[in-house]
Copies of this chain bind each other. A is one copy, B any other.
Amino acid sequence: MAPVRNSRVIFNEIPSGYPEPGKTVVYDVSPKIDPYAVPLNGGFLVKILVLSIDPYMRGRMRDPSIESYQPAFPLGQPIDNFGVGLVVRSENPAIKVGQHLYGFYDFQEYSVYRDLTELRRARVLDNEQTLPWSAYLGVCGMPGQTAFYAWNEFSRAKKGDVVFVTAGAGPVGSTVIQLAKQAGCKVIASAGSEEKIAFLKSIGTDVAFNYKTEKTLDVLLREGPINIYWDNVGGESLEAALEAAAWHARFIMCGMISSYNSVDDHPVKNLSQIFAKSLTLHGFTVAVLHDKYVDRFYAEVPRMVAEGKIRFKEDVSRGLESAGEAILEVQKGRNKGKMVILVAEE
């Protein structure tokens, strides 16, 4: 057969503020691949079905001389992130044609790998519950793991605890909210649009508010004090949470999107509350807790999702050409659910 297009998304320029579609990343249709003839050299060929767009990707769009917990995207190379792919050919006896593999993929239509270690945190998905593959990028993927691992590791939740979750409508936040409700907590959650607030209410959030129209501190002083704070945002939200924290509250420090696209973030001025109230702030990245919780996660979460005990919302963007725009939407918080790129139908 003749070669087909193997389009990809290239990291083209380090952004100074928000990433710009067509400039920060560019869509490149020039590469070709012959899926039937490309040499595998003992490896396997994957057709990428879905790719994930996550807030943390902004941190990888940096000068590689700056160290961080995730490697910088190399300029001129495809960006990469979690995805699900279908094995279409294999010379590796451990990998079967027809298997669905979760792992780290370059943003292109087809890729050849030697073994699973190249996919990092790879997993063969049996998908007994026949969930859509995209669910394995959100509630059943890295964001869901982030929520599940750290909630279990750090929350020390008791029935009746008051929990505050920022970016509550995202895949991490919404999973945290539902785990907190299962634990018998009262949940306060913030988001930035009325559509997101409606979603927060639909998943059981006790107090859902739009941080753009209501002051976070006012809500927390009225509804708190808070025993557990899940921080996806930082800045003003963190400051309000410190102010409204109960004695011995646990702060789970997951991300700070308020500062990802700007150096002029809201300085937090009340850090003395950390010792005054005997707070503990737990910083983590999902990789740190992965080995401890991963098997329990895949045993429990897809089942809870299939049973409707954890609900999720997606924003599906079609085609790799939409990646640049999708990345910006997530940084701006304009996505309507977990952002995924549908690269190809099966």
Which A residues contact B (CB, under 8 angstroms)?
A: 59, 68-69, 234, 238, 248, 253-256, 259, 265, 267-269, 271-285, 288
Judging by beta carbons under 8 Å apart, are B271 and A234 in contact? yes
Q: Give the residues in chain B near A59, CB-CB below 8 Å.
A: 276
Report the minimum CB–CB distance from A217 to chain B (whole Å): 15
Once the chains bind, are B272 and A256 in contact (CB under 8 Å)?
A: yes
Which B residue sits closest to A254, measured CB to CB? B275
**Cβ–Cβ contact A269 & B274, under 8 A:** no
**Shortest beta-carbon distance from A170 to chain B in Å:** 15
- List residues of chain B with CB within 8 A of the CB of A282: 280
**A253 with B274, Cβ < 8 A, contacts A279-B283, A283-B279 known:** yes
CA distance A253 to B277 in the complex (A): 11
Give this chain's copy count. Answer: 2
Which of A253, A256, A280 has the most chain B CB atoms closer than 10 A to its own CB? A253
Taking CB atoms, residues of chain B closer than 8 Å to A285 are 275-276, 278
Q: Please name 20 further chain A to chain B contacts, defined as beta carbons within 8 Å, in addition to the given A267-B269, A280-B282, sorted by A numbering.
A: A69-B276, A234-B272, A238-B271, A254-B275, A255-B275, A256-B271, A256-B272, A256-B275, A265-B269, A268-B268, A273-B283, A274-B283, A275-B284, A275-B285, A276-B285, A277-B283, A278-B284, A280-B280, A281-B281, A281-B283
With the chains together, A254 CA to B281 CA distance in Å? Answer: 14
Q: 18 pairs across A/B with beta carbons < 8 Å?
A: A69-B277, A248-B288, A253-B274, A253-B275, A255-B275, A256-B272, A259-B272, A267-B267, A267-B268, A268-B268, A274-B281, A274-B283, A275-B285, A277-B283, A278-B283, A278-B285, A279-B283, A281-B281
Cα A274 to Cα B253 in complex, Å, equals 7
Q: How far is the CA of A280 from the CA of B281 in the complex (A)?
A: 6
Residue among A254, A267, A276, A283 facing the most chain B CB atoms (10 A cut-off): A283
